[in-house]
Amino acid sequence: MTKPDTADNENTDAPPERLDFVRQIVADDCTSGKWDGRVVTRFPPEPNGYLHIGHAKSICLNFGIAAEFGGACHLRFDDTNPVAEEEEYVHSIQQDVRWLGWDWGEHLYFASDYFGQLYEWAVQLVEAGKAYVDDQSAEQVSANRGTLTSPGTDSPYRDRSVEENLDLLTRMKAGEFPDGSRVLRAKIDMASPNVLLRDPVMYRIMHTPHHRTGDAWCIYATYDWAHGQSDSIERVTNSICTLEFENHRPLYDWYLDALGVYHPQQTEFARLNLTYTIMSKRKLLRLVEERLVSGWDDPRLPTIQGLRRRGYTPVAIREFCKTVGVAKFNSTIDVALLEHCLRQDLNKHSPRRMAVLDPIKVVIDNYPEAQVEQLDAINNPEDPSAGTRQTPFSREFYIEREDFMEDPPRKFFRLTPGREVRLRYAYFITCTDVVKDADGNVVELHCTYDPATRGGDSPDGRKVKGTLHWVSAAEAIPAEVRLYDHLFTTEDPEDVAEGEDFTANLNPDSLVTLTGCMLEPSLAAAEPGSRYQFERKGYFCVDPDSAADKPIFNRTVTLKDTWAKLKKKGKTH
């Protein structure tokens, strides 16, 4: 049986067959001896939110490279801004990285551990005349930065003496000045065509307690001032980040060169985009805050927690990340590829069960009233070692409402008056009568069965076109089943009319809750997190909300369904 959560995440993945451009750089560095054969990468999340599938791409890249080249990958929390950062996130991020199947070993770091070193280096830059304290307000700094097409203007405080700068910086650190009153800036070039080089801010004053350093500091390093130096301290070789940091690389290099310290190589790749999905932290937060989803672990979200609750496996996510590849082109991957990787893994490992989601009762008129037979069913045709189980069959059972049609189109192979079909692992049955209520709704079907077809084979070799799943009525376990679909109705959720935003594209049917579903009795002991294939319906897993007296299953993904496809295209005749 499939184990919940972390038990099935042993990572024995083979490396990709061809090297992507990042791995090529690492491989070249190894042959040239650029880093003396060392390979050190890092995954540097800010602990201010939960991880999503986009992070998984970065995680698989960084940890994957380290594993393939015999190096190490550091997990470093980039916690330089105490305003939104919380301990809760550092825990959940670690849990998610582990669940994805990666291990940072000893290498758990925090940028906040480097605050002392960073400050010493800042002093060093001030002493070298390469940094200064600016008394301008944030608005003034911004106004004097110039625009993309025109140069900035020097701050009136730009040429303070080293002594004055040192004094001011010391007092900034000592907490003498209020928030926002002063900043430390690198003295680079206010006319640089790269606006990031127009005297970037290194420290800002924030009298805000930090989740790890408490109130030890009231000045906090900005991203650019902290990141490269943290990489340097950890002797990272390849600092791999996403494309939007390309413009930051000259600054990354400038700081390291100005300091004259160990200098890692920054390389940028394109972040992951998925159809029918949003990935922005800000927008995900909005969905959660406005209760448009149930929480960060809502199974419709691309968060790792959401995917986990939905029933995704770490193997499927890793395989997806490998298949997607790494490049510098801004691309959008079809979610169908993610779902394909999921099905591929689930198909191999999920035990099969029968469950009727939308039941309609069937009575076999020529079957003995009190008889119950135990029939053998194969647990997983893809895995003989999964063995078989027994499932009860009796005179009354349920089949799927959509598996019967009174007046079917030509290509409908399922049950219809007068037609013989197979009940999986049971018997051939023929529909003889349809019982309807006053409104004409079908409420019950009557059939006859052929005792010679026990197990589902006909001794005379006669064929049937359809095979249906079923659940014996007396033994059935009622359950709730949550059917999930894409959260958005459009491939690009941002594609909206004037005045609307992405929430306009939310799919009203992304969650359909079914009650009164009927499960075969062997599902009684299913543990939260365990995964199954409900034959002909899809892959499902037990939700954490599930209880012994009230089982709840989430639909992870449907099976490929050619009949549904034909119906959609109107090609059923």
Partner RNA sequence: UACCCGGUGGUGUAAUUGGUAACACAGAAGGUUUUGGACCUUCCAUUCCAGGUUCAAGUCCUGGCCGGGUAACCA
Query: Active-site residues: which are they?
Result: 46, 271, 281
For RNA, give the closer residue by CB, 231 or 535.
535
Closest distance to RNA from the beta carbon of 81 (Å): 4
Tell me if 394 sits within 8 A of 371, measured CB to CB.
yes
For RNA, give the closer residue by CB, 66 or 346.
346
For residue 358, the cross-strand partners are none
For RNA, give the closer residue by CB, 179 or 433.
179
For RNA, give the closer residue by CB, 47 or 314.
47
Q: Is 506 exposed, middle or buried (0-12, 13-18, 19+ CB in 10 A)?
A: middle
Closest distance to RNA from the beta carbon of 339 (Å): 7
Residue with tokens 């605050």: 115
For RNA, give the closer residue by CB, 58 or 237.
58
What's 13's DSSP letter?
P
Which tokens in the block code for residue 51?
């991880």
Closest distance to RNA from the beta carbon of 230 (Å): 10
**DSSP secondary structure string, 214-278?**
BTS-SEEE-HHHHHHHHHHHTT-SEEEEEGGGGGGHHHHHHHHHHHT---PEEEEEPPP-BTT--
For RNA, give the closer residue by CB, 44 or 529.
44
Q: Is 193 exposed, middle or buried (0-12, 13-18, 19+ CB in 10 A)?
A: exposed
Closest distance to RNA from the beta carbon of 381 (Å): 5
Q: Return d(Cα 115, Cα 111) in angstroms, integer.
A: 7
Count Cβ atoms below 10 Å from residue 438 Cβ, excluding itself: 5
Helix (H) or strand (E) holding 205: strand 201-205
For the chain, the straight-line distance linking the first and the last C-alpha, in angstroms and rounded, comes to: 41
Q: Return d(Cα 354, Cα 473) in angstroms, integer.
A: 13
Closest CA to 523 of 356, 311, 354: 354
Strand 552-558 with 477-484, pairing: parallel
- In 3-state terms, what secondary structure has residue 558? strand
Phi, psi for 451 (deg, rounded to 5): -60, -25
Closest distance to RNA from the beta carbon of 456 (Å): 2
For RNA, give the closer residue by CB, 73 or 326.
326
Which tokens in the block code for residue 225?
């001032």
Closest distance to RNA from the beta carbon of 278 (Å): 14
Closest distance to RNA from the beta carbon of 458 (Å): 8
Q: Return d(Cα 534, Cα 376) in angstroms, integer.
A: 16
